[in-house]
Structure 1
Amino acid sequence: MGFQGMKQIHMLPKINLRFSAWLMQKLDADSMRVVVSDKSSIELTEESVKLVFDLPMGSKIVSQGPAQGLALASEVMAFYGEVTNSHGQKGIHSLKAAEAYLLRPLTEELTELEIGHFQIAFAIFLVGHILAPTCKHDYVCLDFLESLVVPSQIGVFNWCRYVLKHIALAARKLQADLAKGISSINVGGCHLYLQVYYIDQLDLGLLNKPTGVYPRIPLYDYESVWKIIEHLRIDQTGEPMLSVYMAATEVCPQEKNLQAVGNEAGFNVARLDTEFGNTPRRTTLPLSLQRCQNSDVTPIRIPPFASPLECGPTQFSSFLKSRYPQHSGTKMPILLREHQARLVLHTNEF
């Protein structure tokens, strides 16, 4: 199927949604750039998605519309729908039904039809939980069904482009909700890729991940991602400031290899850019593979991630002293500070 990189993803019980929301706010969905500052931005490209997840980047475009009529015309898809209906009567959009099918015991005597069902269930489960999750429980968007009609050809579609399109849609929706003052904000799209790729561009010193590893996703487990996000937060003095290196202008050998893969599959940067509404551009390989090769690149200082609504322990302690001086020296401020620390921990970690 071409989804070998998915087998290398670590168990991530929780993802910092505040960090994802911050990245979504910084994303210019028209140019597909995370605008970190006036002088620095990080471009999201199909090659970068492939570098993180090792997803198929084929010549066929995953359908954007609900092509259920064509999809269900397939004998495999129709029978898979009947199978999933037996798991809660929720149809093929149910993630629980796909999971239940994947958990069925496998034998060496699987028929071609059963293999096709497994591939369909795997693709639905993967899209619904990682590549394009929605805010609805046990639900996956059915805009990719046409690519599942022939299970053996799932890998010939461009799933990297599909991931980027849903990230752009999610960013536009989040930014629109914030502009309207909507209190309940949902973060959709593949923000796992967004976090990993953004972090992979930063010069984090001792926290830097090894260069030259492909794909990048196995390098980022739950603990390391959480430590890096905590490291990115501005402390009480406003430091540290981290460096982001701008991409080099010369194409390195690794980038040529990725471009060759895209050219063989019929990848067209200009076509993607036209769909996003801007002029064609040349993409560059992520900086993690260039950091050790380009010593003459000038670092740009940018402020790391921090929420404007965050109240650290020092600010909260000062607030208690100024607002309630009569309780200074009692147990009450200590208990409140401990309670505030627990609240911050649960708020940051979803």
Structure 2
Amino acid sequence: MGRKMSSTRTRGKFNLNEVADNEVRSSSNSEVDDSDDMDYIVENNGEEDDEHNSNVVTNTSMKRKRGRPKGSKNKQQMIGEKKINKEKVVLETRVFKDNSFTRGGEVKEAGEVLIVLHDEYKGRAPTINCKIEAFGKMMQRFDNRRRNWVNEMGFGGLYHLCGKHLPRNFVYWLMTRVDLINQIFSAPNGIDFPMSKNQIRWIFGLPIKGKVIPISENDADEEMKAKAQFILGAYGKTWESDHPTNTGAVISTNAIPVNPKFIQRLEGTWEDKDEEEFKTMFLMAAVEMVLCPTQCGRLSPSLLYACSLGMQAREYDWYKLVYEFFIERAKVFCRDFYTFGWTKGVGGCSMYLVIFYLDRLNRMPLQWGVFPRLKAWDINDLLKARQADILPSGDYGKIGCVDVAYGDRQHPRAARDSECPDEEVLMPAIEKEKVISKARRKGKSVRNPFKIRNPQPNPQPTPHPSPTPDPQPTPHPRRKLFFLCITIGIKPTKNRKNRIEANNNYSYSYEIN
């Protein structure tokens, strides 16, 4: 759930041109969210987060947060206390190839990634700031005017995020399989998949034009710099926080929090004249919540130039920006994980890694070839595939992966039969049609012996040269005996006890009158 904002907190320079509709419910206030709202959490526990413009000012006394006794440590400091005192590993090829070289490698080798996380993080789930669920609910409330604006920007594929959310432990485990030096994903069954920016295009369907988005002041032109300053002044906020390592120092941060009030404005009422403002705010929400989320929950100042391209968004290379930002955020994760064996959160576009892995599982493909891949996966299919991949230890990798890439016409697990021709198959015509006039002869029954027909064969009559009459047929011998008995006065009677079973007829006894 999102963190509630105190009534005494000032909003800085957050001024909006219009007031949001009070009847519109904000999607970020949902009871089930992808991650905790970290808009106002500034302690990073020694993590190197260089995406903010921060000024360190040394004071004689360190500020203490309200409601905490003097000299006590907050929860974030207690959890990350042992992290501060240990030097982090240097990321190199050996870190990802030799599991015995680092603490994180030993945890991976034992298959206890999630067990160690649960023990070290006191049972809490890792922080995933890729807020898929809140962003999808926000897009569901857009009317046709705003949907057309989003399609004009080239971000219509993000609409398929509606109804989805990210399993946190699953995302955390996937990040431990990423090799940042070689930029490959190491599957549990030993297959290495190269990672590239083209996979971002296949999954999200982002614009593919060739212009590079500037991420520094040296790459931006004067118009972009002016727009970036205007955006920071209109939507930015400045606050101070304690330095995590330097006692007595204060960090002054100026960034843009994408908080519930920001999302509520996007869900409000818009007119045709507000097109540029809407596209600018939508880019800030899409970049911070889905494409390039930071672990602290605030829009990175290096992405302000990207957010100023609302009216020209389709002309730039967005999937390169998303991929490079993911690699940078994964470096922060890997430094902590391979040093301490666990870390508390994940930054970057986590949805990219989830769909990338699920499409390569050793199972029947799900609508292989559908573009973008977000369209093929709904939340039920996603959770079903994740559940089938769970090991008894709690980690994942039970099914294994197959070597397949986006763009392959044939999936290894799909049927290899080609498509049939479109021609209609007809029955062949009969040259000389035979008309059957006789009715079908009824078959003989062989089950009931009493119904067996034993007709005498009818001999064919032989032609006689003379008109001599045909001989009379010889009567049956038993019939002869019957008439003889009648003639001499013998009365025939049926004797049922002396049945002759051979021919199933009755025998006769004779009594002389």
Q: Secondary structure at the match of 2:295?
A: coil
| Match for residue 157 of structure 1 among 299, 302, 316 | 316
Q: C-alpha offsets along residues 44-93 of structure 1, whole Å, 9 cap, x if unaligned?
A: 2222111110011221222233679956643x55555555369x9x9872
Q: Which residue of 2 aligns with 1:118?
A: 278
Say if 1:83 and 1:151 are closer, same or farther in 2 by CA, change over 3 A: same
Does the aligned pair in 1 maintain the 2:256–2:299 contact within 8 Å?
yes
Alignment of 1:165-184 (within 5 A): 165-181=324-340, 184=343
Q: Which residue of 2 aligns with 1:320?
A: none
Q: Which residue of 1 aligns with 2:164?
A: 12
| Match for residue 356 of structure 2 among 174, 182, 197 | 197
Give the distance between the partners of 1:288 and 1:228, measured in 2 at CA: 22
Does the aligned pair in 1 maintain the 2:280–2:309 contact within 8 Å?
no
Q: Which residue of 2 aligns with 1:276?
A: none
Give the distance between the partners of 1:79 and 1:167, measured in 2 at CA: 27
Q: Which residue of 2 aligns with 1:30?
A: 181
Q: Which residue of 2 aligns with 1:266?
A: none
Does the aligned pair in 2 maintain the 1:131–1:189 contact within 8 Å?
yes
Give the distance between the partners of 2:295 and 2:340, measured in 1 at CA: 18
Say if 1:209 and 1:63 are closer, same or farther in 2 by CA, change over 3 A: same
TM (normalized to structure 1)? 0.61
Does the aligned pair in 2 maintain the 1:62–1:144 contact within 8 Å?
no
Give the distance between the partners of 1:38 and 1:172, measured in 2 at CA: 24
Greater mean deviation of Cα atoms: 63-72 or 141-150: 63-72
Please identify which structure carries the higher helix content: 1
Aligned residue pairs: how many? Answer: 248
| Match for residue 94 of structure 1 among 257, 262, 273 | 257
Q: Secondary structure at the match of 2:296?
A: coil
Specify every segment of 5 or more residues in structure 1 that has no aligned partner in the other structure, as ranges.
Answer: 248-283, 297-350
For residue 399 of structure 2, what is the amino acid of its counterpart? L
Say yes or no: does 1:21 pair with 2:178.
no
Does the aligned pair in 2 maintain the 1:5–1:55 contact within 8 Å?
yes
Say yes or no: does 1:106 pair with 2:270.
yes
Specify every segment of 5 or more residues in structure 2 that has no aligned partner in the other structure, as ranges.
Answer: 1-152, 240-252, 418-513
| Match for residue 212 of structure 2 among 18, 43, 61 | 61
Say yes or no: does 1:228 pair with 2:362.
no
- Shift of the alpha carbon at 1:214? 0.8
Give the distance between the partners of 1:35 and 1:209, measured in 2 at CA: 22
Say if 1:164 and 1:126 are closer, same or farther in 2 by CA, change over 3 A: same
Say if 1:148 and 1:133 are closer, same or farther in 2 by CA, change over 3 A: closer
RMSD across aligned positions (CA): 3.4
Say if 1:85 and 1:242 are closer, same or farther in 2 by CA, change over 3 A: closer
For residue 6 of structure 1, what is the amino acid of its counterpart? L
Say if 1:239 and 1:159 are closer, same or farther in 2 by CA, change over 3 A: closer
Alignment of 1:239-278 (within 5 A): 241-247=398-404
| Match for residue 411 of structure 2 among 261, 286, 290 | 290
Say if 1:235 and 1:30 are closer, same or farther in 2 by CA, change over 3 A: same
Greater mean deviation of Cα atoms: 144-153 or 3-12: 144-153
Q: Which residue of 2 aligns with 1:136?
A: 296
- Shift of the alpha carbon at 1:240? 9.1
- Shift of the alpha carbon at 1:115? 1.2
Q: Secondary structure at the match of 1:34?
A: strand
- Shift of the alpha carbon at 1:22? 1.9
| Match for residue 216 of structure 1 among 352, 361, 373 | 373
Give the distance between the partners of 2:323 and 2:176, measured in 1 at CA: 15
Q: C-alpha offsets along residues 30-49 of structure 1, whole Å, 9 cap, x if unaligned?
A: 33210115741122222211
Please identify which structure carries the higher strand content: 2
Give the distance between the partners of 1:147 and 1:92, measured in 2 at CA: 15
Alignment of 1:78-89 (within 5 A): 80-81=231-232, 83-84=234-235
TM (normalized to structure 2)? 0.43
- Shift of the alpha carbon at 1:200? 0.8
